[in-house]
Homo-oligomer: A and B are copies of this chain.
Amino acid sequence: MSQTLPVTFRVSASSVGKMRCELDVSLEDPAGGVRESWQMATDEGDFHGGDGTAPSPLAYFTGALAACLMTQIRAFAKRLNVSLDGVTIEGAAHWQAHLSGRKPYTTEPLGFDLDVKIDSNASTAQLAELVRAAKKGCFIEQTLSRTNVVNHQLIHDGETIPIKTD
């Protein structure tokens, strides 16, 4: 039986201190309400004006990328009857920033690498099939592999204004 399941996360972020950002994140229950919620914070090192009280946003992003694939490898191993003795992932996320004096800089991604080491009695062909299935089931990888729309609204002085990309 085929079925489509919505997966929606919500976040409330507040500016605190110099560059610290405090976050309430929740997973919606498809039946209504909140299924799970978490509190976390980000900060920046002193080279970016912060106090280093928490990981940076990109540290969470890079950790999430590796962990999302890891989770689906483990979840789908059960569905594909593959036994795993241990999985490690070594990954890298490459970006660059284009600086021009004091003006706001621009950024771009250069690429992402994930090396997946699996200890298992399964054949290499079975494990390659498992990793391919995990890529297709990894929400973050599927997001990175296509062009996404990020909608923005600015709320200021009682006005709500859509922000269009140039």
Q: Which residues of A contact B (CB under 8 A)?
A: 1-15, 19, 21, 23, 25, 27, 35-36, 38, 40, 42, 44-45, 47-49, 52, 55-68, 70-72, 74-76, 78-80, 84, 86-120, 124, 127-128, 131-157, 159-161, 163, 165-166
List B contacts of A4 (CB < 8 A): 96-99
List B contacts of A79 (CB < 8 A): 102-104
A155 touches B6 (CB 8 A): no
A9 touches B131 (CB 8 A): no
A8 touches B95 (CB 8 A): yes
B120 touches A156 (CB 8 A): yes
A108 to B143, CA, bound (A): 7
A166 to B74, CA, bound (A): 20
A142 touches B107 (CB 8 A): yes
CB-nearest residue of chain B to A106 = B136
A131 to B139, CA, bound (A): 27
CB-nearest residue of chain B to A159 = B124
List B contacts of A99 (CB < 8 A): 2-5
A163 touches B132 (CB 8 A): yes
B58 touches A9 (CB 8 A): yes
- Between-chain CB contacts (< 8 Å), 20 pairs: A1-B100, A10-B92, A13-B89, A15-B74, A25-B62, A35-B45, A36-B52, A44-B71, A49-B74, A57-B64, A57-B67, A61-B64, A61-B68, A61-B140, A114-B150, A118-B155, A118-B156, A145-B150, A146-B147, A147-B147
B137 touches A7 (CB 8 A): no
A126 to B21, CA, bound (A): 22
